[in-house]
Structure 1
Amino acid sequence: MSNQQDDLSALLKDSGETTIEGAMAKAEAAVNSLDSVTLNIALTGESGAGKSSLINAMRGLQEPEEGSAPTDVNECTMVPTKYPHPTMPNVILWDLPGIGTGLFKPDNYLEKVKYQNYDFFIIVSASRFKANDLMLAKEIKEKKKNFYFVRSKTDNDVTQNERKGVKEEETLRKIRENCVANLKELGPPPVFLITANDLQRFDFEKLRDNLEKDLPENKRNVLLLSLPVYSKECLDQKYNAFKITAWAVAIASGAIATAPVPGMSLACDVTMVVAFLTKCYFSFGLNDESLQKISKLAGKPMLEIVRESLVVKALADDSLATTIATKLSAAGVAESMCSLVPGAGSTAAAGISFVTTRSVLLEMVKELYSEAKKVLEMAGVE
């Protein structure tokens, strides 16, 4: 009995609720939010500003990969164009026409692009921000939406100036000062210097921190998990997010464990765990496509090395369900016996399922994290 009480205490502690019913309801909402919470990111700026390259970088794609945004500098976006995330379709990046182009005049730009559909705006420029950019920011602010100024292609400026003997720090300072000077009417707001060629360089980390700070809690994780792993810090944050979310999957499986149908709990536990770990697998960049790309860049055969992990191999081969079923089967017998006992038996079944499933989840998430960390180390990413 004491073990069952410990299980239930752990369940309630992780959920932050005082009752099992409250914990299960909260868990169900958290699990559903992984797929149901949408995030629409709008990028706007003049043709050639680097919007398409940034859209691809934030989705972990490169042209001409399937689903990538075309980066032809001669191509001008004439209508809002959506680019869903390749593994998280609830995250969509929108390439908007530049303000003042074609039918998108400054006086009705936001209405034309249907501003209400986007969570926030990123205003992109490859040089100085201009009058139209300033006008757009003011309009967005009036509509009570958030906006962020991004100075793209910063690496090009740094490289060109280094050839002239100008240090990187001096180039970045001048770029920032020039951008901010044109936006002084707005406060001025911060300007983030980035390059789509390497999100780890310059200010992308600061941009992401600001986005997360301004987003509602349920959308912060969606943003974090959708971004490619571009640094060890990013990987660590993803890992922590998955560890925290694991309690919800474990508790949701406990809700199923209360059903007095032998075998039902185990089958549903496996389905939930596989779905959760599959999200982790893609978010950590351990799928074959991601590994092949980073292997090519680093000149090292990472795919073969990472596939030595049983969890990674099972996910790649769609055989993880069998592995998990074996791990959960022993607990499944105990759950089935408890769930046949009215009242307290169902509660005990939920507790057993929670502790067992959480243990399996955390063990496998840790293994996936270790493999992703190994990939970054081999690629020389800090």
Structure 2
Amino acid sequence: METQDPDVIEAVKLSGESTLEKATAKAKAEFEQLLNVSLNIAVTGRTGAGKSSFVNALRGLGDDADGAALTGVTETTMKATMYEHPAMPNVKVWDLPGIGSPNFKANKYLKDVKFSTYDFFIILSSERFQQNDIMLAKEIKNAKKKFYFVRSKIDNDILAEQRKKEFDEQKTLSKIREDCQKNLKEVGNPKIFLISVYDLEKYDFEKLQNSLEEELPQHKRSALLQAWPVCSAESLEKKITFFKRVIWAAALASAGIAVVPVPGLSAACDAGIVLLFFTRCYYAFGLDDGSIKKLSEKVNKPLQKYLGKSKIAAAIQNKTLTRLQVSASIATLATFEWFASLFPGVGSVAAAGLSFGTTLYLLREGLNELANTAREIRKEAGLDPMCSNS
């Protein structure tokens, strides 16, 4: 191998390639895919099922937040409306017109809403699933796309049942699930996910995520994992593990840039990679203003102050990451990397190794800092009392 730098050797091994050049090319491709792979989620159902609130929940937004899908007691979605994820423009959630017209034809509906656009469909209902829902599911199935039945507003059902003397929450949930399954026999034995958009920690929101992950193509899973709201300690840890796995790609992409003999290019690109990586972690871990505000209101505790314990989280929040010592430390290496990259062979390898090792260290330390901040916030919120840093 062209270099004796142990970190670079290990990263090349992790890439599954035989040379630094091939490993770097693969790293760049994987990092680009991490940032840009598209995911289009279609949410449909009857008028009043809570589609717009569900769209907002998937995007980590409250119904009254800037950019949220409009909600109301009447039909607010008259055509297919696309909403980008606040931090990931490559992830789009589509709020489709409600199903409920007496003249409804599933095949025509799919054509009208541009069926081929979407990776999968979520069919939402706040009551029993109706014949139109079943017809639509059959058409989606015939077109060989995935669909998922989501029974919404479960919190309302539980609240209503609590007034009864013999109330048992688990029995109530089982009854709702069985009732839905009975009237969906025509489409086989589909899974039913019971959800409250105002309490994603409860019921089946995480089960829905797990099913989507299992059934999506491999290259789409990274987008889902980054964009899906944190709904449990397990959900957060899964995200942390994911970002740990892609650190090598970000660091090797930096190493590849370092061998280009253009003054200042390496430092600028390294800083950009670090910024993109940390920003994705920040939103994926639920550290953004919208997520923290929603969580604070839910548990009636001021949680914003805990962001200040992470310099990186605070810098992203205040849009001042480039002023962090992290970026300054990269900049001090720029001159050395540039001169080293001018010399073929050993010089280029030295530049690559230096850039890789620096970026690898920064990414690891920064990821751990953001992860521990997210864990602490959930612990303070009373969501994960046994959560410990790792």
- What is the TM-score with the length of structure 2 in the denominator? 0.92
Map 1:336-375; keep pairs closer than 5 Å: 336-375=338-377
CA distance in structure 2 between the partners assigned to 1:101 and 1:76 by the alignment: 15
Q: CA deviation at 1:113?
A: 1.2
| Moved segments of 4+, more than 6 Å | none
Structure 1 residue aligned with 2:111: 111
How many residue pairs get matched?
382
Conservation of the 8 A alpha-carbon contact between 1:194 and 1:201: yes
Structure 2 residue aligned with 1:97: 97
Structure 1 residue aligned with 2:128: 128
Q: CA deviation at 1:271?
A: 1.6
Conservation of the 8 A alpha-carbon contact between 2:209 and 2:228: no
Q: CA deviation at 1:265?
A: 1.3
Structure 2 residue aligned with 1:315: 316
Q: Alpha-carbon deviations, 1:182-239, whole Å to 9, x = none?
A: 1112221111111111111111111111111111122111111112222211111111
CA distance in structure 2 between the partners assigned to 1:346 and 1:104 by the alignment: 65
Map 1:93-242; keep pairs closer than 5 Å: 93-101=93-101, 105-164=105-164, 165-242=166-243
Q: Name the SS for the 1:89 alignment partner.
A: coil
Q: Name the SS for the 1:324 alignment partner.
A: helix
CA distance in structure 2 between the partners assigned to 1:380 and 1:76 by the alignment: 36
Conservation of the 8 A alpha-carbon contact between 2:44 and 2:98: yes
Q: CA deviation at 1:333?
A: 5.2
Give the direction of change, closer, same or farther, for the CA distance of 1:20–1:135 in structure 2 (3 Å limit). Answer: same
Q: Alpha-carbon deviations, 1:252-283, whole Å to 9, x = none?
A: 11111111234321221112111211121122
Structure 2 residue aligned with 1:274: 275
Q: CA deviation at 1:329?
A: 4.4
CA distance in structure 1 between the partners assigned to 2:318 and 2:65 by the alignment: 23
Greater Cα offset, 299-308 or 161-170: 299-308
Map 1:3-18; keep pairs closer than 5 Å: 4-18=4-18
Greater Cα offset, 173-182 or 332-341: 332-341
Q: Name the SS for the 1:274 alignment partner.
A: helix
Which amino acid is 1:229 matched to?
V
Q: CA deviation at 1:3?
A: 8.0
Structure 1 residue aligned with 2:57: 57
Give the direction of change, closer, same or farther, for the CA distance of 1:362–1:103 in structure 2 (3 Å limit). Answer: farther
Unaligned runs of 5+ in 1: none
Q: CA deviation at 1:131?
A: 1.5
Which amino acid is 2:12 matched to?
L
Is 2:261 the counterpart of 1:257? no
Q: CA deviation at 1:102?
A: 7.8
Q: Name the SS for the 2:121 alignment partner.
A: strand
Question: Identity over aligned residues, as a percent?
Answer: 49
CA distance in structure 2 between the partners assigned to 1:138 and 1:214 by the alignment: 18
Compute the RMSD of aligned alpha carbons: 2.1
Q: Name the SS for the 1:300 alignment partner.
A: coil
CA distance in structure 2 between the partners assigned to 1:77 and 1:239 by the alignment: 36
- What is the TM-score with the length of structure 1 in the denominator? 0.94
Structure 2 residue aligned with 1:287: 288
Unaligned runs of 5+ in 2: 385-390
